[in-house]
Amino acid sequence: MKRKTLRHVAVTGIAAVGLAVLTACSGPASGGSGASGSTYGFDAAAQEKGSKITVWVDAAREPIVKAFQADNPNVPISIETYDGNAGGSGSFQTKIALLDQSGEGWPDVVFSTQTNDASWAAKETNGVQAFAAPLNKGLLDDAFLKGFTAGANDPMTVDGKVYGLRNDLAPVVLWCNQKLLDQFGYKVPTTWEEYQDLGVRLAAEHPGYILGSIGDSFVGPYVYYWGAQAPIFQLSGNTFSSNFDDSKSKNMTSMLDSMVKNGTLVQDSVFSGSFVQKYADKIVAMPGPAWYAGALFQNPQSLNSPKGEIGAAVPLHWNGQDKVTGNVGGGVWYASSHSKNLAAVSTLLKYVISSDKASSLASGLPAYDAAASKWLDTQAASGYFAGDFKGAVQTAASSVWKGWGFPSFSPETAYAAVVVPALAAGKPIADVVPEWKKQILNEAQVQGYTVK
Partner 1 sequence: MATATATAADSRTVAGRRRPGRTKKPDRSQTRIGYAFSSGYALLLVAFGLIPAVYAVYLAFTKNGSFAGLDNFVRVFGDYRFWPAVQHVALFILVWLVSMTLLVVLLALLVHAVRSRWASSAVRFLYYIPGALAGASSVMLWLFLLDPTVSPVAFVLRLLGQETFVQTVSLENLPIVFTLIAFWAGAGGWIIIMYGALNNIPVEIMEAARIDGAGPAQTAWHIQIPLMRKWISYMVVMSLAAGTQLFVEPRVLSQASKGVVPQEYSLNQLAYLFAFRQNDFNGSAAISLLLLVVAAGLSALFVFRGGLFERD
Closer by beta carbon to partner 1, 381 or else 446: 446
Closer by beta carbon to partner 1, 279 or else 368: 279
At its nearest, how many Å lie between partner 1 and the CB of residue 125? 5
Question: How is residue 321 annotated by DSSP?
Answer: S
d(CA 225, CA 252): 7
Closer by beta carbon to partner 1, 26 or else 236: 26
Closer by beta carbon to partner 1, 384 or else 415: 415
Choose one: 18-26, 56-64, 237-245, 346-354; the region binding partner 1 (CB under 8 A).
Answer: 18-26
Asked if 81 is part of the footprint of partner 1 (rule: CB under 8 A), the reply reads no
Asked if 22 is part of the footprint of partner 1 (rule: CB under 8 A), the reply reads yes
Question: How is residue 46 annotated by DSSP?
Answer: P
Asked if 143 is part of the footprint of partner 1 (rule: CB under 8 A), the reply reads no
Asked if 90 is part of the footprint of partner 1 (rule: CB under 8 A), the reply reads yes
Choose one: 55-63, 91-99, 148-156, 189-197; the region binding partner 1 (CB under 8 A).
Answer: 91-99
Closer by beta carbon to partner 1, 343 or else 417: 417
Number of residues that bind partner 1 (CB under 8 A): 43
Pick one of 9, 11, 16, 17: the residue that binds partner 1 (CB under 8 A): 17
- Hey, which residues between 247 and 276 contact partner 1 (CB under 8 A)? 267-269, 272-274
Count Cα atoms within 13 angstroms, Cβ side, for 321.
18
d(CA 234, CA 34): 41
Q: 381, 376, 386: which is closest to 311 by C-alpha?
A: 386
Choose one: 136-144, 172-180, 215-223, 321-329; the region binding partner 1 (CB under 8 A).
Answer: 215-223
What single letter denotes the amino acid at residue 41?
G
Q: Rg of the chain over CA atoms, in angstroms?
A: 25
- Torsion sign, CA atoms 248, 250, 252, 258: negative
Q: Which residues contact 335 (CB under 8 A, 6 or more apart)?
A: 108, 109, 132, 133, 135, 139, 342, 345, 346, 349
Decide: helix, strand or coil at residue 24. helix
What single letter denotes the amino acid at residue 23?
T
The interface mask with partner 1, positions 408-427, x = CB under 8 A, is ----xx-xxx--xx--xx--
Closer by beta carbon to partner 1, 22 or else 70: 22
Residues in the chain: 452
Q: Angle 140-136-83 (CA atoms, 0-180°, nearest 5)?
A: 80
- The contact set with partner 1 (CB under 8 A) reads 14, 17-18, 21-22, 25-27, 83, 86-90, 93-94, 97-98, 125-126, 215-217, 267-269, 272-274, 412-413, 415-417, 420-421, 424-425, 442, 445-448
